[in-house]
Amino acid sequence: MRSQGQLRALFVINSLAGGGAERVFTTLVKELSARECGLAITVALLDDESEEAYSLPEDIPVERLGTRGGMLRSITQLRRVVARLRPDVTVSFLSRANVAAVVAMRRIGRPAIISERVNTTAHLRSGRFGFLSRLLIRSTYPSARQIIAVSEGVARTLEEDFAIERERICVIYNPVDLDRIQRLAAAEPEIPVSAHDFVTMGRLVANKNTAMAIRALAASQTDGRLILLGDGPLHGELEALAHSLGIADRVHLAGFLANPYAVLARAGCYLLTSDAEGFPNAMLEAMACGLPVVATDCPSGPAEILQVALGGSEPAFGAGGALVAMNDHRAMAYCMDRLVTPPARERAAQEGKARIDAFSVERAVDAFRETILKAAAGAGVPPE
């Protein structure tokens, strides 16, 4: 229920079916609703998924729209919700929700805040609807009152490739819920794992380039295994690659685990092989579990997290692990061999844990709250 002096804030996302953006969205809504922060929150889920990986507090109203992933349906149905609820401000996550929220709020003349979670140019470079998606973003994002980029790399892409004024963009890093991760990490793992093993986590899809991790394992001098946490359409292809390289017995496709942190906390090293990221949540979570990481220098996020830049083709070691060029599985193998040794592993793990302090839930929630209130005030929307 809305109290006097509160802004009506409508938080919008495609669904809560799973993923890093959905987890961050849920964390922010929970934290903001639990505080005296001047917001009366309602959530709109564009897609009415039968299974939701994340749950919201029971006292938060939820509008489930059932758009079945369609952009036009998302815009049309969200406009109806906005016309009925007349929120003072919207806060949206992910491109489809962002486009729909901007269009919906234009009609009532109130501010839309959008949160861009991916490196937009890299994410939409190819694919069947890439051109159309880029066109929609160009025609809507500049109308947003404020754009929250998840990394400096994402902010640069929005400014340089989508002609968005820099003063409309701010950077708020993803929060890492250390207390939750450490609690779950202490539990018994669902699968066997040892300090000799390498782990990668995420959907088995093309832009995650998980094949690079398998090739790196084959090129390394270690005798550990590679544990793939996650599932997706490339499962069979990756399994076949491991067979062709003669390491099928050392590659374990574990699928989705309800508690991956218990596995991460007992492994030796985390691998991020992506060709594109916005800001890799899984990498941060691995560092929070005490794992050193080897990550590709993809756009964008890994270099910012490790606070290091590649000067050429050679790997660069930073705060919590190593950065290698994209698709360079031999450089990744070299770093794996180095970081899995106890002294190097311990040093990188400690540096990584220290770096995680910059990504606390408190910092992110405070930054979101300040951004929301400032955007509403700047648009002349006073709390009632």
| C-alpha to C-alpha distances, 239 to 60, 252, 255, nearest whole angstrom | 43, 9, 12
Q: What pLDDT is stored for residue 299 in this prediction?
A: 86
Q: Say if residue 171's pLDDT is above 90.
A: yes
Q: Say if residue 45's pLDDT is above 70.
A: yes
The amino acid that residue 34 corresponds to is: A
pLDDT band at 384 (very low <50, low <70, confident <90, very high): very low
CATH top-level class for 178-358? alpha beta
d(CA 79, CA 345): 52
240-252 pLDDT, tens digit per residue, is 999 999 999 999 9
Determine what percent of the chain is predicted with pLDDT higher than 70.
Answer: 93
Q: Say if residue 370's pLDDT is above 50.
A: yes
Q: Which strands make up the sheet holding 269-272, listed edge to edge?
A: 251-255, 226-229, 198-201, 269-272, 293-296, 321-324, 316-318
Q: What pLDDT is stored for residue 162 in this prediction?
A: 83
d(CA 230, CA 235): 9
Q: Cβ of 126: how many Cβ atoms within 10 Å?
A: 10
216-270 pLDDT, tens digit per residue, is 999 999 999 999 999 999 999 999 999 999 999 999 999 999 899 999 999 999 9
Q: Can you tell me the mean pLDDT for 157-170?
A: 89
Quick check: helix, strand or coil at residue 23? helix
Q: Cβ of 252: how many Cβ atoms within 10 Å?
A: 18
d(CA 267, CA 142): 44
Residue ranges matching CATH 3.40.50.2000 in the chain:
7-175+360-378, 178-358
Decide which of 108 and 137 is more confident.
108
Q: What pLDDT is stored for residue 18 in this prediction?
A: 75
The amino acid that residue 169 corresponds to is: I
d(CA 192, CA 164): 48
Q: Say if residue 94's pLDDT is above 60.
A: yes
Cβ distance 351 to 320 under 8 Å? yes
Q: What pLDDT is stored for residue 127 in this prediction?
A: 54
pLDDT band at 1 (very low <50, low <70, confident <90, very high): very low
Q: What is the 3-state secondary structure (H, E, C) of 93-161?
A: ECHHHHHHHHHHHHHHCCCEEEEECCCHHHHCCCCCCHHHHHHHHHHHHHHCCEEEECCHHHHHHHHHH
Residue at token pair 């947003």: 144
Decide which of 145 and 52 is more confident.
145
Q: Say if residue 126's pLDDT is above 70.
A: no
Phi, psi torsion values for 26, nearest 5 degrees? -65, -45
The amino acid that residue 335 corresponds to is: C
- Assign domain 7-175+360-378 to its CATH architecture: 3-Layer(aba) Sandwich (3.40)
Determine what percent of the chain is predicted with pLDDT higher than 90.
Answer: 73
Question: Which among 2, 77, 1 is positioned nearest to 44, based on CA atoms?
Answer: 77
Cβ distance 37 to 6 under 8 Å? no
The token pair at 263 is 């596995």
d(CA 211, CA 214): 5
Cβ distance 60 to 29 under 8 Å? yes
| C-alpha to C-alpha distances, 149 to 91, 295, 367, nearest whole angstrom | 13, 21, 12
d(CA 285, CA 353): 10
Q: Say if residue 209's pLDDT is above 50.
A: yes
d(CA 365, CA 29): 9
Question: Which helix (H) or strand (E) covers residue 253, if one does?
Answer: strand 251-255
Cβ distance 101 to 112 under 8 Å? yes
Q: Give the residues across from 271 on adjacent strands.
A: 294
d(CA 126, CA 103): 25
Q: Can you tell me the mean pLDDT for 209-217?
A: 98
What residues have CB less than 8 Å from 58, skipping those under 6 apart?
none
Q: Say if residue 294's pLDDT is above 70.
A: yes
Q: Say if residue 319's pLDDT is above 50.
A: yes
